[in-house]
Amino acid sequence: MWATGLTAFAAVMLLLTGVLDIFRGIMGIARDDVFLATRSYVFQFSLTGWGWVHLVLGAVAVIVGLGLMKVSTWARAAGVVIAALIIIANFLSLPYYPVWSIVMIALAAFTIWALCVVRKEGNQGLFD
Amino acid letter at 5?
Answer: G
79-117 residue pLDDT tens: 999 999 999 988 887 877 788 889 989 989 988 988 887
Domains in the chain, number: 1
**pLDDT value at 44 more than 70:** no
Global pTM reads 0.76
Which residues form the domain of 91?
Answer: 1-33+40-125
Residue 42 exposure: Cα atoms within 13 Å on the Cβ side: 3
